[in-house]
Amino acid sequence: MPDESPTVTALVQGKDTKGIIATITNWIFDHSGNIVYLDQHTDPVEDMFFMRIRWDLDGFVVPREEIDDKFGEVCWRLQMAHRLFFSDRKKRLAIMVSKQGHCLLDLLYRWRSGQLIVDIPAIISNHDDQRDIAGYYNIPYFHLPVTKETKPKQEEEVMSLLRKEGIDTVVLARYMQILSPKFVNAYRNSIINIHHSFLPAFAGADPYRQAFHRGVKIIGATSHYITEELDEGPIIFQDIVPVTHRDNVITLRRKGEDIEKMVLARAVAMHVENRVLIHNGKTVVFGG
C-alpha cells in the first residue's frame, strides 16, 4: 500500500569509508527528518558500500525541490553516488509482450489489485494477440509489428511512444525480440526481462527443451536487466521448481510459466520500490 505520508528514499553507493552512515543520518536528523528505514551492505572484496535509507517528508525542513541538491552535497563530500525517489511519484511503466500472455496477465492483476504501485500508460506488442487483455484492464494497446527488415523503424516507433508517455521503466513480459544497443542505452538499468531459465544455465532459445535433454531435476526463471549482451544483464531475482524424469517438454514449459510469472513480478516490485543497486554487473537488492 502507498505510504500514508510522503517519504523520500535514497540509494547510495561508493567506496567504503568511515562515517558514511553517521554523516548521512545526522544530516537527516539535523533537518528534522524521521528515518523510517535503513539498510546497508559492505562488499569487502571490492571495498564498496551500499545503502538504502528512507525518511518522512512531514516536518522535514529542507524544501522538497532542494533535497536532491542538498543531499547530493553530503554524498559528494563522502565521494558517494546517490539517487532519490519520492513515494508519491509513481514510476511509469510500459509492458512489452509478444504472443504469450501469462506474465502480462499476472502483472496486470497485481497492478489492478494494488500490489504493484505504478502507472501503466501502454502495452506494446509485435503481435495483436493480447489486445483483449489490455482492453479489459483499460490500458492503451499499441500493435507495432516487426520483421528483420523493419526492426530499426519499429524500434524508433517504440522509443518515440515511450518518450511521449514519459516511460521510465520497460518490462519485457516475454517480448521475444532482441533490443538494439541504442534502445538499451536509452533505458539503461530500466529494462527488466524474464528469461525462462535459471541463468547462466540454458541461455538463448528454447531452454525447456535444453533442460529436458539434460535431464535436470530443477528448472527455474531469471529476471534481469537488459544489456547489450544477450541474457548477461545484472540479475534481480531468480527462483526454481523441482521436476522429475516423468516430465516432458510440455510439462516443463507449463511448470516454467508459473515460476516465470512470480519471478518477473518480484523483480518488477523490487525495481519500482527502489530496492536495487547495481555495481560491476551485479545487483544488491535490499529488503522491503
Tell which residue, 154, 219, 199, 217, has the closest CA to residue 180: 154
- What integer pLDDT is reported at residue 252 of this predicted model? 85
In the chain, the domains with their CATH numbers are 7-86 (3.30.70.260), 91-285 (3.40.50.170)
Sheet with 35-43, side-by-side order of all strands? 35-43, 48-56, 7-15, 80-86
Q: How many angstroms separate the CA atoms of 240 and 242, rounded? A: 7
- 204 pLDDT band (50/70/90 cuts)? low
Per residue in 245-258, pLDDT (tens digit) is: 898 888 888 888 89
Per residue in 155-170, pLDDT (tens digit) is: 999 999 999 999 999 9
Predicted confidence (pLDDT) at residue 3 exceeds the cutoff of 60:
no
End-to-end CA distance of the chain: 12
User: Does 231 participate in catalysis according to the annotation?
Assistant: yes
CA-to-CA dists, residue 226 to 107, 160, 273, angstroms:
19, 19, 19
Q: How many angstroms separate the CA atoms of 65 and 70, rounded? A: 10
Radius of gyration of the CA atoms of the chain, in A: 21
- What integer pLDDT is reported at residue 202 of this predicted model? 67
- What integer pLDDT is reported at residue 213 of this predicted model? 80
SS3 annotation, 210-237? HHHHHCCCEEEEEEEECCCCCCCCCEEE
Handedness of CA 145, 146, 149, 151 (dihedral sign): positive
In sequence order, which ranges of 43-178 are alpha helices (DSSP H)? 67-77, 102-112, 131-136, 151-164
Among residues 56, 106, 231, 247, which one is catalytic? 231
| Spatial contact of 76 and 102, defined as CB atoms under 8 Å apart | no
- What integer pLDDT is reported at residue 33 of this predicted model? 96
Per residue in 61-115, pLDDT (tens digit) is: 999 999 999 999 999 999 999 999 999 999 999 999 999 999 999 999 999 999 9
